[in-house]
Amino acid sequence: MAAQWNAKNKNILITGAASGLGAAYAQALLRDGAQNIAVLDIDEKTGQNFVAKLNETYNNKAIFIRCDVSKEADIDNSFKTVLNQFQRIDVLINNAGIMSDTDSLWRLASDVNWQGLVSFTMKAVKHMRKDEGGAGGTIVNISSTAGICKLNFLPIYCGSKGAVLHFSQSLASAPFYDNTGIRVLTLCPGPTATKLMEGMDQRIVETTTMKQLQLDGVIIQRIESAVAAMMKLLKDGDNGSIWLSANDKPALELTPQINKYLNELEKLTLP
C-alpha cells in the first residue's frame, strides 16, 4: 500500500475543471488543504467565475487558464503557465472530456479524450520524475465505465476511454514508480449527473437508432459519489491502480480483476 497521501501543500492542475466533476474535484481538494489549484478549461467565462468564487473562500489559491485540450500549443502554454505560477506541480488530473460520436465531433472528442490526455501526462512525467531532478507526484487519468463496457451507441467514446485505461496501465508498469516516484492512477466513473449526460440522443454514433440507446435502468450517480471516489484513490491508491465509481456505491478497486484478465491474455500472446 502506498504511503497515505493528503492534499495539504499540494499544487494541483485539473483539466476540464470550470464545471461538472472537474470543478467538484477542485473544491474538494481545496477543502482538504491543497496549496494551489489550476483550473484549465475552454469555457473562459464559466472558468473565471468559478475561480473567483473559489478565491473568495480559499484565499486566492486558484487560477484559471483557458486551454483547448485538443490543441498542442494550448497544452504546452498552459503547462508552462502553471509551472511559472506554482513552481511545482504535484498532481495532474486529466479530467477534460467530450462524449460525442457524431460525424462532426468524434475526431475532436478523440483529440481531447485521448491525445490531449497523453500530452499532459507526458509533460507531467518529465516535470515530476525523481530520476531527472523532480519531486515525484501523482497523475490521475479519467477513463470511464465506457472504457470497460461495450456500448454500441458510443463505440468511438468507448475506444478512447479504453485507450486511456490501457495507456495508464502500460505507463505505470514496473519499474516506473521506483524510477520516477510518480503514481499513475485511473478512475472509471459511471454515468454521473453532469452536463455530459444531457442530450445523449443527439451525440450517439449516427448509424445507431434510438431503439439501440439502452439506458433503461441505468443509475445516474450523484457528483458527490464520484468526488468521494477521487479522494479515496488519491489517498489510498497504489501506482497503476484502477478504481470504479458507479451507481452511488463506494469506490471499488478493479486492479486485481483487470490484471488477472490481462495476465491471462499475455500468456497467450507473449513468449
Residue 37 contacts residue 26 (beta carbons within 8 Å): yes
What does CATH list as the number for 11-269?
A: 3.40.50.720
Tell me how far apart the alpha carbons of residues 147 and 158 are, in angstroms, rounded to a whole number. 5
Give the residue numbers annotated as catalytic, written as ranges. Answer: 157
First and final CA of the chain: distance in angstroms?
31
Cα–Cα distance measured from residue 23 to residue 19, given in angstroms and rounded to the nearest whole number = 5
Q: How far apart are CA 265 and CA 11, in angstroms?
A: 39
Tens-level pLDDT at each residue, the chain (271 residues): 445 899 999 999 999 999 999 999 999 999 999 999 999 999 999 999 999 999 999 999 999 999 999 999 999 999 999 999 999 999 999 999 999 999 999 999 999 999 999 999 999 999 999 999 999 999 999 999 999 999 888 999 999 999 999 999 999 999 999 999 999 999 999 999 887 767 777 778 766 554 455 555 678 899 999 999 999 999 999 999 999 999 999 999 999 999 998 889 889 998 7
Give the 3-state DSSP-derived string for 175-221, with helices as H, strands as E and coil as C. Answer: CHHHHHCEEEEEEEECCECCHHHCCHHHCCCCCCCHHHCCCCCCCCE
Q: Where are the domains of the chain?
A: 11-269
Beta bridge partners of 12: 37, 91
CA distance 195 to 5: 30
> Can you give the pLDDT at residue 195?
78
Confidence (pLDDT) at 1: 41
